[in-house]
C-alpha cells in the first residue's frame, strides 16, 4: 500500500480525511465513491486539472507522481487510487466492500488488477475522443510540466498528444482493442452473475463503474454487451455513484462531451468507427 512521506510537510498536520481530487478524474471518482459507500465525512481539496492546478511544487510535494487522487488521513498520505480504496475498506470496515470468501476475494482483486492494467488505454481513448479540444492548452503548458513534473511517462504521453500529429493511430487502435477485450470479459461474467465478485457489490464493481461511465461519455461500442449494460444501470443508480460521480460532473461539461462524441461519430471518427477497430 503506497503510503508516502511528503516533502510538503504541511499535510502532516491535517486531521481527519482529506482528498485531493478532480471532478472528472475516473481515479478520483473511484476514491470519492468509496468514501460515500463508507459514509465517511471528508474534506475536499479540488484541483482543476484543466487549469493544471496539480502541476505545482506544492502538490508534487504531497504526491510525487503529480496525479490525483491523494488521500491524507490524520497526516498519513496514501497515493494510487486502487490502494486508496483498499486503505479505506481496511480502515473503515463497515459496510464491507470485499467478499468474505477467499476465492471470490481473489476474483475481486483480479478485476481491480485488470482495472489498473487498462488505465493507459483509457487515458489514450479519453484524450482522443473527449479531451482532444484541450490539446492547444496542453501544448502551451508542456514546458511547465517538463520543468516541475517528475513523471516521465506522463510527460512522454503529453509530448505525443500535443504534437502536430497527435496520438498515433497505432496507439489509439491498440487502446481500442485492449478496452474492447476487457469489456467483453466483464460482459461474460456479468451475463452469468449479478456482481463481479461474490454475491454483493464490491470494490471491483465500484472501480469498473466509473470506467463504464467514461466509456459511455465517449460513445464506445457497447450496444451488444447486455450483461454489462444491465449491471451498469444498477450501479449507476446507487446513491454513492450519483453523489461521487454525477454530482461532481458539471452539467455543461457532460453536455459538451455528449455533443463532441456525437459529432465525432457522425464524422466517422468516433470510437465506433471501423478505422479504430482493425477492420
The 10s digit of each residue's pLDDT in 208-249 is 999 999 999 999 999 999 999 999 999 999 999 999 999 999
The domain total for the chain is 2
Indicate whether 133 and 86 sit together in one domain: no
Position 97 in a domain: no
Indicate whether 244 and 190 sit together in one domain: yes
SS3 67: coil
Q: What pLDDT score was predicted for residue 140?
A: 75
63-114 tens-digit pLDDT:
998 899 999 999 999 999 999 999 999 999 999 999 999 999 999 999 999 9
Q: Please choose, from the candidates 208, 210, 214, the residue with its C-alpha nearest in 3D space to the C-alpha of residue 261.
A: 214
Question: H-helix or E-strand containing 1?
Answer: none
d(CA 267, CA 12): 51
Q: What pLDDT score was predicted for residue 135?
A: 75
Radius of gyration, CA atoms only, the chain: 19
Q: What pLDDT score was predicted for residue 278?
A: 65
Position 208 in a domain: yes
With 0-12 / 13-18 / 19 or more C-beta atoms within 10 angstroms meaning exposed / middle / buried, residue 88 is: buried
Query: For residue 9, what are the domain limits?
Result: 3-91
Question: H-helix or E-strand containing 76?
Answer: strand 76-79
Indicate whether 79 and 156 sit together in one domain: no
Indicate whether 87 and 117 sit together in one domain: no
Percent of the chain scored above 70 by pLDDT? Answer: 99
Indicate whether 244 and 160 sit together in one domain: yes
Among left, alpha and beta (phi > 0; psi -120 to 50; other), residue 26 is: alpha
Q: Indicate the residue among 91, 113, 144 that finishes a domain.
A: 91
In this structure, are strands 43-46 and 17-21 parallel, antiparallel, or unpaired? parallel
Rounded to the nearest 10°, the torsion over CA 199, 207, 182, 161 is 180
Indicate whether 177 and 262 sit together in one domain: yes
d(CA 118, CA 128): 15
Indicate whether 110 and 76 sit together in one domain: no
Indicate whether 52 and 159 sit together in one domain: no
Cβ contact 190:183 at 8 Å: no
d(CA 25, CA 210): 9
All cell numbers assigned to 178: 485492449
Amino acid at each position: 500500500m503506497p503510503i508516502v512521506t511528503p516533502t510538503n510537510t504541511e499535510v502532516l498536520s491535517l486531521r481527519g480525511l482529506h482528498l485531493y481530487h478532480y471532478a472528472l478524474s475516473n481515479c478520483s471518482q473511484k476514491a470519492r465513491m468509496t468514501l460515500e459507500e463508507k459514509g465517511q465525512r471528508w474534506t475536499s481539496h479540488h484541483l482543476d486539472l484543466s487549469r493544471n492546478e496539480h502541476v505545482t511544487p506544492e502538490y508534487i510535494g504531497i504526491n510525487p507522481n503529480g496525479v490525483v487522487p491523494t488521500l491524507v488521513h490524520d497526516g498519513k498520505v496514501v497515493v494510487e487510487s486502487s490502494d486508496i480504496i483498499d486503505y479505506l475498506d481496511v480502515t473503515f470496515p463497515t459496510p464491507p466492500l470485499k467478499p468474505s470468501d477467499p476465492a471470490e476475494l481473489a476474483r475481486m482483486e483480479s478485476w481491480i488488477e485488470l482495472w489498473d492494467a487498462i488505465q493507459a488505454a483509457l487515458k489514450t481513448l479519453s484524450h482522443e475522443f473527449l479531451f482532444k479540444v484541450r490539446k492547444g492548452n496542453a501544448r502551451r503548458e508542456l514546458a511547465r510540466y517538463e520543468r516541475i513534473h517528475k513523471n516521465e511517462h506522463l510527460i512522454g504521453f503529453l509530448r505525443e498528444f500535443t504534437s502536430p500529429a497527435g496520438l498515433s493511430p497505432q496507439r489509439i487502435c491498440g487502446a481500442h482493442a485492449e478496452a474492447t477485450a476487457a469489456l467483453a470479459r466483464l460482459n461474460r461474467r456479468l451475463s452469468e452473475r449479478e456482481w463481479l465478485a461474490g454475491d454483493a457489490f464490491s470494490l471491483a464493481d465500484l472501480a469498473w463503474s466509473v470506467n463504464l461511465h467514461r466509456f459511455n461519455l465517449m460513445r464506445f461500442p457497447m450496444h451488444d454487451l447486455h450483461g454489462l449494460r444491465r449491471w451498469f444501470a444498477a450501479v449507476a443508480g446507487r446513491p454513492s455513484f450519483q453523489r461521487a460521480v454525477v454530482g461532481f460532473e458539471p452539467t455543461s461539461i457532460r453536455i459538451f462531451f455528449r455533443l463532441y462524441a456525437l459529432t465525432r461519430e457522425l464524422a466517422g471518427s468516433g470510437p465506433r468507427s471501423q478505422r479504430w477497430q482493425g477492420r
